[in-house]
């Protein structure tokens, strides 16, 4: 007699911090189609009302919450609210990015600090809060979204590179500390522009395809986890994107 089939795993709760047109919307749609419950986070939650209405037809539940991810108290309050009202997160994706181009001699301290806060400090606040919510259950995934500037300091990209380098370092430390606790931390470097419906003369990565790859990270078995992944179109020149 054959044993009964194993129960189908429930996808769980996904939190996306930094939801905007392009990648953020595509990631939310992909997770909704997979059956995740969703918490979508950005500064202005009302701006996500149309997306929430769309995804409500697909996902078991969708909640949009306003939060400034660069504020420690706001992030801690966010995750306390999520745990209280929705439950502990299974997947947390940090996708904030801020960039003000300029050469070093022209960059202002305010612009430098703003980019660092969005690209690095916010990632720390969110990752720490997510880890605290996950560690008791010994499971979950934290995915930090980087860019070409996570690994290459290009001319005119100081404000982006410093924060993204720091985010990558954060991901490496988190992976070493949290993997033994059952929490999968991964850093994803997107070495390309993301296609947002506007034709460009240079290669572009499609947001739906990026979302597909990131979902695959979350679904990896524990004996074969990825700590860092870089994504680009097949016709993009490696690490030369600008």
In a domain, 107, yes or no: yes
The tens place of each residue's pLDDT in the chain, 242 residues long, gives 455 444 445 689 999 999 998 999 999 999 999 999 999 999 999 999 999 999 999 999 999 999 999 999 999 999 999 999 999 999 999 999 988 888 999 999 999 999 999 999 999 999 999 999 999 999 999 999 999 999 999 998 998 999 999 999 999 999 999 999 999 999 999 998 887 766 667 788 899 999 999 999 999 999 999 999 999 998 888 877 65
Q: How many domains does the chain have?
A: 1
Residue 82 lies in a domain: yes
DSSP 118: I
Q: Domain containing 99 — which CATH number?
A: 3.40.50.720
Question: pLDDT value at position 197?
Answer: 66
**In a domain? residue 238:** no
5 found inside a domain? no
Write out the residue range of the structural domain in which residue 165 sits: 13-231
Q: What's the predicted TM-score (pTM) here?
A: 0.92
228: left (phi over 0), alpha (psi -120 to 50) or beta: beta
Of 221, 181, 175, 218, which Cα lies nearest the Cα of 11? 218
- The pLDDT score that the predictor gives to residue 236 is 82
Q: What is the pLDDT of residue 70?
A: 97
């Amino acid at each position: 007699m054959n044993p009964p089939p194993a129960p189908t795993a429930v996808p769980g709760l996904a939190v996306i911090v930094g939801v905007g047109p392009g990648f953020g919307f595509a990631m939310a749609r992909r997770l909704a189609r997979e059956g995740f419950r969703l918490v979508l986070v950005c500064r202005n939650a009302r701006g996500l009302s149309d997306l929430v209405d769309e995804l409500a037809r697909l996902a078991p539940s969708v909640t949009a919450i306003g939060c400034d991810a660069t504020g420690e108290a706001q992030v801690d309050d966010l995750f306390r609210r999520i745990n209280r009202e929705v439950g502990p997160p299974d997947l947390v994706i940090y996708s904030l990015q801020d960039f003000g181009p300029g050469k070093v001699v022209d960059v202002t301290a305010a612009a430098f600090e703003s980019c660092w806060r969005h690209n690095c400090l916010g990632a720390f606040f969110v990752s720490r809060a997510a880890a605290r919510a996950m560690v008791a259950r010994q499971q979950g995934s934290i995915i930090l979204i980087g860019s070409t500037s996570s690994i290459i300091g290009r001319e005119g990209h100081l404000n982006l590179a410093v924060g993204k380098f720091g985010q990558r370092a954060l991901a490496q430390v988190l992976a070493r500390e949290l993997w033994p606790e059952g929490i999968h931390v991964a850093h994803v470097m997107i070495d390309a522009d993301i296609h947002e419906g506007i034709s460009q003369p240079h290669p572009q990565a499609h947001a739906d395809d990026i979302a597909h790859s990131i979902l695959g990270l979350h679904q990896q078995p524990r004996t074969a986890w990825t700590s860092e992944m870089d994504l680009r179109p097949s016709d993009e020149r490696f690490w030369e994107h600008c």
